Amino acid sequence: MVFSWFKSKPAKHFVPEGTIVYAIGDVHGRDDLLKELIEKIGEDIRDTGMDRKVIFVFLGDYVDRGMGSKSVIDLLLKWEEQAKKAKSKVKFHLLRGNHEEALLQFLDDPLFGEKWVTYGGAETLMSYGVQPPRLRTDEAAWIKASKQLGLAMSQDHLHFLQGLEPCLVLGDYIFVHAGLKPGKKLEMQQEQDMLWIRNEFIEDHRKFEKMVVHGHTPEREPFYDHRRIGLDTGAYITGVLTAARLVDDQVSFLQTGDVEPAHGVAPPA
């Protein structure tokens, strides 16, 4: 596995003491890859033999593009409920992505479907058993499809979408879907940027108060430098779903497929 490193060694960043954090990139309806990655993470937890609190942070974009959007949400709800019932040391944090925002917008504004369908909305409709309109400009068909989706979607799924977190701070890290506005303090960041920002964040080189862990912008491999860790490896088309493993000040990556995890990764001096 080849990584892109910043040329000088960044300051160390720590997760809270006694925890091991797994941050998972954009799933986009690939329930098959999500199952595979969670199995790998389970094996990793067992192999470490660490008696630590396990924190899962999902970075958003569970729906659209892939054909298993409904199944992805089913899986996440199931795992979260199992962890609660078992009163285990496992904690789930589920962040909102721009695609979840788009799905909710379609439920409120059916005519938004004409735009939503261009970036994966049709696959989400089909996963709920709703036929997308044949013509993008058919307003009556979009109104019908929005109503059908609302009827097909369980209250659990609707509450899931409405209850997603915009961001999460753990130790020296901040987790968001897309990124942050350069030059702004964390407390001044806007949720719209957290969900949608791309080039302005990716191409800037200024550090934030926290190391930013994000998805949203697909890259051929997980990215890690002095200011950000990017985990969107285009799972819906590449078949590679990526997680970052954060423990103490160490960063490593696990991926679906025949890729061995790279433990204890750190940028060269």
Here the tokens at position 53 are: 């609190």
**What parts of the chain have a pLDDT lower than 70?**
1-11, 258-269
185-208 confidence digits (pLDDT tens): 999 999 999 999 999 999 999 999
| Residue 157 and residue 2 in contact, taking contact as beta carbons nearer than 8 Å | no
Beta bridge partners of 211: 173
Q: What is the pLDDT of residue 83?
A: 85
**What does the chain come to in residues?**
269
**How many Cα neighbours within 13 Å face the side chain of 97?**
23
How many Å apart are CA 103 and CA 96, to the nearest integer?
11
| Residue 171 and residue 13 in contact, taking contact as beta carbons nearer than 8 Å | yes
50-62 confidence digits (pLDDT tens): 789 999 999 999 9
Place of tokens 């960044």: 10
CATH number of 19-95+216-265: 3.60.21.10
How many Å apart are CA 240 and CA 230, to the nearest integer?
14
Hey, is 216 helix, strand or coil?
coil
Q: Are strands 211-214 and 250-255 parallel, antiparallel or unpaired?
A: unpaired
Q: Where are the domains of the chain?
A: 19-95+216-265, 98-159
